[in-house]
Amino acid sequence: MITCSAPGKVYLFGEHAVVYGENAICCAVELRTKVSVEKSDEIIIESILGRTRLDHDTHPYVSYVIEKMRQFVDIPGVRIVIESELPVGSGLGSSAAVTVASIQALNHLYECGLSLEDIAKTGHEIEKMVQGNASPTDTYVSTMGGVVMIPQRKKLELINCPIVVGNTHKFSSTKQLVGNVSKLRSDFPSVVEPILSNIGQISILAEKLVAEGDYETIGKLMNINQGLLDAIGVGCAELSSLVYAARDNGAISAKITGAGGGGCMVALTREDNAEAIAKAIENAGGEAIITKNTAEGVRLESLHG
């Protein structure tokens, strides 16, 4: 049996603006999805969603991975077991992580010789098959790890302070939120285009600050980015409540990560107050996860047998 894992991600800057070609900065976090694979007589996929065969409703990403990998190698039967620390549908890149970890595990099991670039590209193709349209960002960051400037795919210095994620557990549709922003942009181009451009400018300013490890100034820019996301209508009361709980209790910064409208927010904290900020987020009705940036993308965890 072979086990591989791949990390989730948060956006430090630039979600929504990145759809219009602006810059964004994404950061892989040490919350992982593990996928274990072994050869079998039939195809079996197991996760908290249940035990299925090839099933594009219950396990769409892994089912498409198997079909896609069959282009490289004969896969008569395989058992795939998924375990994840990433909440599903919360903007932390859970679908990218399960896709990337599954590709790499099968890549090792069948010795396909796929490179990391191949894995990121194949992962993006699978996300597009399931979602209709998908950014290559999530699969790229999950494959490569670290901190990445989009769209250049430039690796930046690691973020060396605790990251606290707050989950509202409120469902939101990325497709709908992206559509809402698009409509606002076409209704009020002279107002909304500069906002999206300013979000992109923040990422450009932040690149140098990430290299310098100037988290206080990064934090100020993240907070401005949050205000601009609110301005384009992707906030919600639950997210605002968690954002202000974190800030009021001493977070360096707090903002939405991902599409907004629900899902998660992210806070940067100091070493000595991550626990206090996590508690404040829980007290405000969210689920808090203390994590950190990881340099490692997809990796081999273990080989048995």
Tell me: is residue 151 an annotated ligand-binding position: no
Tell me: is residue 194 an annotated ligand-binding position: no
Q: Nearest 5°: phi and psi at 16?
A: 70, -50
Tell me: is residue 94 an annotated ligand-binding position: yes
Tell me: is residue 24 an annotated ligand-binding position: no
Residue 248 bears catalytic tag: no
Tell me: is residue 91 an annotated ligand-binding position: yes
Catalytic option among 41, 74, 138, 248: 138
Instruction: Give which of 131, 199, 159, 126 is closest to 26, Cα–Cα.
Output: 159
Instruction: Give which of 138, 38, 134, 56 is closest to 97, Cα–Cα.
Output: 138
Distance CA 234, CA 228 (A): 9
Tell me: is residue 95 an annotated ligand-binding position: yes
Tell me: is residue 134 an annotated ligand-binding position: no
Q: Nearest 5°: phi and psi at 55?
A: -150, 105
Tell me: is residue 260 an annotated ligand-binding position: no
Distances (CA, A) of 213 to 12, 29, 98, 133, 225: 14, 17, 31, 34, 19
Tell me: is residue 203 an annotated ligand-binding position: no
The position carrying tokens 């968690």 is 242
H helices, E strands: number in the chain: 9, 12
Tell me: is residue 145 an annotated ligand-binding position: no
Which residues are marked as active site?
138
Residues annotated in a binding site for ATP: 87-97
